[in-house]
Amino acid sequence: MRKNVYLLLACFLLSAVSFAQTKPDYSKVTLVIHGGAGTITRQNMTPEKEKAYREKLNEALQVGYAVLKKGGTSLDAVEATVKVMEDSPLFNAGKGAVFTSEGKNEMDAAIMDGKTLKAGSIASVTTIKNPITAARAVMEKSEHVMMIGAGAEKFAQMQQIEIVDPSYFYTETRYQQLQKIKDKEKTQLDHDGGTGSNENIFTEGNKFGTVGAVALDAYGNLAAATTTGGMTNKRYGRVGDAPIIGAGTYADNASCAVSATGHGEYFIRAVVAHDIAALMKYKNYSVKKAAEEVVMKKLVEFGGEGGVIALDRNGNFSMPFNSAGMYRGAIKNGKAEVYIYKD
């Protein structure tokens, strides 16, 4: 009899301990987003355009935060958040994707789970309505990390992910951006790399419209997601940093979750996202110090324009950029903030 009581007591204590370990902690739940960086200044913004961006960024934050508050995972939150921005023509992702030099829309996306270090990415796809959902399927339903082009599209179709006609991605604004840039290409080629010459590639204030999200859920797990149409006038088959794990996207519970936006070639060479995580892991930098070191020093030296959002396991985050502006925002304790300009 007494033995049974001890046994019962032991069982009770064990389950109490494991409950305490897995008990969700909503106080640190955080979601941070970006909608691209570039020469985004008050001068080249209209009040209507600014309002539209602010509203959409806020909607994306609210959708993702609702997922986290209901006990959803950081992966669910970043996917839901990014989908809102993919479905909006305002951003260079999904519906608002930019055009390649051939007049096509070729998209890249990646997602990473900070708890398991599993990742999935797709590149150069032209028919997947929500590339981020396909990237997640690669992570969860295949034994691969990265799939590209026709193969990735076939896989998405097999996973019952929504496929659309490439004409779905046509937007007049983006098409006109390509026409303007095409005329200027000669000037661009005459220049030699670096941020200065980028001025000739891009005409609009909204240079890099990639979207991304990083989240911390109530179970203490981080996740990151990035999706993009790449760069206007890019050559066919060109892949940027967004789907390269460690360059434009990275998440590790031991350090941070990062999503980047900017001139992809530089972000790949500077291994931006992983470098931020590495500074935290090996040098004990704070998320702010690590993100600033890479974006404001290393990237600037490389000549790479853009920015990142980075979030650690305690809900500390940083949103540095070395361009004129970056669409960005965060939500924590129910309080959402959205920013566009430097100050």
DSSP 8-69: HHHHHHHHHHHHHHH---GGG-EEEEEEEEES--STT--HHHHHHHHHHHHHHHHHHHHHHH
**Residue 272: which H helix or E strand, with range?**
helix 272-283
Cβ nearer to ligand ASP, comparing 64 with 240: 240
Best CA proximity match to 209, nearest among 107, 139, 138: 107
Residues 272 and 241: beta-carbon distance below 8 Å: yes
Are 187 and 200 in contact, with CB atoms under 8 Å apart?
yes
Residues 172-211 that bind ligand ASP (CB under 6 A): 208-210
Q: Hey, which residues does 321 pair with through a beta bridge? A: 307
Mark whether 171 is an active-site residue.
no
Considering beta carbons, is residue 220 or 229 the nearer one to ligand ASP?
A: 229
User: Binder to ligand ASP among 39, 74, 203, 228 (CB under 6 A)?
Assistant: 228
Q: Rule CB under 6 A: choose which of 131, 240, 304, 315 binds ligand ASP.
A: 240
Task: Check residue 242 for interaction with ligand ASP (CB under 6 A).
Answer: yes
Structure tokens that stand for 225 in this block: 């997601």
Among residues 73 and 228, whose Cβ is nearest to ligand ASP? Answer: 228
Q: Which span (79-87, 156-164, 227-235, 333-341) binds ligand ASP, by CB under 6 A?
A: 227-235
Give least dist CB 146 to ligand ASP, A: 15
Q: Which of 210, 226, 228, 232 is catalytic?
A: 210
Q: Identify any residues that bridge with 318 across adjacent strands, giving them in sequence order.
A: 310
Pick 36 or 320: Cβ nearer ligand ASP: 36
Q: How far apart are CA 26 and CA 32, in angstroms?
A: 16
Instruction: Single out the residue of 39, 100, 127, 261 in contact with ligand ASP (rule: CB under 6 A).
Output: 261
Q: Kindly list the residues in this chain that would bind ligand ASP in the complex (CB under 6 A).
A: 36, 92, 208-210, 228, 230-231, 240-242, 248, 261-264
Q: Catalytic residue numbers? A: 210
